Amino acid sequence: MQIGVSYFGNRILKHIKSDMKDLKQKGFTFVLHTYSEFDLMFRKGTMNDIIKATQDIGLKVECNPWGVGNVFGGEPFSQFVNLNYSDSCQVLDDGNIVPIACPNSPKFNDFMNRWVDSVLESGADRIFWDEPHFHEQGFLASVPNRWGCRCKYCKSKFEEEFNKPMPLDETDDVKLFKKNSMIHFLEKLSNRVVGGDVRVTLYLNPNLPAEKISREWNKYCEIESVDTIATGPYWQWEKKSVESVADYSKALFELALKHKKKSQIWIQGFKITDGKEGEITEAINYAINVGIENIAVWGYEGAAQESWVACDNPKLAWEVIVKSICNSHPRN
């Protein structure tokens, strides 16, 4: 069993070393260290030290492009978007620009190549593509009832691929184009990673019914340089029953098995409602019972360091997490 947790909000090495030792003693096997644009610009050396210290303690390290370009999930602000707002951001169907970089933008591709190279230089064990997305209604969407992207790069590529101008409506062809664009974007980046000892995980947001996963995520699993497919059915965040974790875990496990990939489930360890901490145990057991052997939690100590996503009772939530997964299941 692989057991991991996300870690963010602290870049002071002596405190990180203490926390990593604690995680190792509790039975965790890996840590996801978020790697933002700020880290890339101002803390590259610091991140190298953090990653090495974590590995020296005996934990594997994953890094994700936390909030980078606002194309990937995460709270950090994106300077790339601010500096390249007019020529590399996504354009909505009404012509307005939104602060999300376009995966078809050459500048953003170059920027992501630099991000990848920095993480590879750090010695991290794995890169974690976290919630890659176009502007979508209902998911990290700053403008409702609109879709993107209709920037000059997307319109040109669409016309080249479909032999017709990109329509104003988000047709099935447009949806297919966006999916293919994202897959191509992720594939190019993932291919840049492989060849050494570094591996790649792709986390897809479960903003669709579990029964549609096998169809909608099938093409993502065809990226050969991705070896692990992940998702996080955050039941309380999505206002669903904890039983839904079983449905998403089963669908992901079967999809990964079909494509000879590994599967990873993330458990909600943030914004857990006071009095419902016991649902964390249920969620973990649901995932493990369908065959998932790689479980991670977002985030460290109930996300207490970031108040807007912190659990109501972070201390209790963290105690439940450790007891439910670290103390109850063998690690390898």
Percent residues over pLDDT 70 in the chain: 96
Given CA atoms 240, 245, 247, 251 in this order, what sign does their dihedral have? positive
Q: CA–CA separation, 141 vs 318, rounded Å?
A: 30
- Which residues are within 8 A (CB) of 195 and not within 5 positions of it... i.e. 6 or more apart? none
44-49 long-range Cβ contacts below 8 angstroms, 24+ apart: 44/118, 44/122, 46/11, 46/13, 47/11, 47/118, 47/122, 48/121, 48/122, 48/123, 49/13
Residue 86 burial (CB count, 10 A) = 8
d(CA 257, CA 129): 20
Ranges 195-209, 265-279, 289-303: which has the least confidence: 195-209
- In tens, the pLDDT along 129-138 reads 999 999 875 5
Amino acid at 288: I
Q: Which residues pair with 127 in a beta bridge?
A: 63, 200
Length of the chain: 332
For residues 87 and 159, the answer to whether their CB atoms sit within 8 Å is no
Residue 230 has pLDDT above 80, yes or no: yes
**From start to end of the chain, where are the E strands?**
2-7, 30-35, 60-65, 89-91, 97-101, 126-130, 199-203, 228-231, 262-268, 294-298
Q: Give the H or E element holding residue 44.
A: helix 44-57
pLDDT in tens, 9-40: 999 999 999 999 999 999 999 999 999 999 99
Alpha carbon of 7 to those of 4, 115, 135, 140: distances in Å?
10, 19, 26, 21
Q: How far apart are CA 73 and CA 159, in angstroms?
A: 29
Position 76 confidence tier, pLDDT thresholds 50, 70, 90: very high
Give the burial class of 320: count Cβ atoms within 10 A of its Cβ; 0-12 exposed, 13-18 middle, 19 or more buried: buried
Whether pLDDT at 139 is above 90 = no
| Cα distance between residue 288 and residue 249, in whole Å | 9
The pLDDT of 216-235, averaged and rounded, is 98
Find out whether 130 and 74 touch, Cβ atoms under 8 Å: yes
- Give the tens place of pLDDT for each residue, 251-280: 999 999 999 999 999 999 999 999 999 999
Report whether pLDDT(119) > 90.
Answer: yes
What pLDDT does residue 137 have?
Answer: 58
Residue 196 has what pLDDT? Answer: 78
Total-model pTM = 0.96
What are 176's strand-pairing partners?
none
Can you give the pLDDT at residue 158? 98
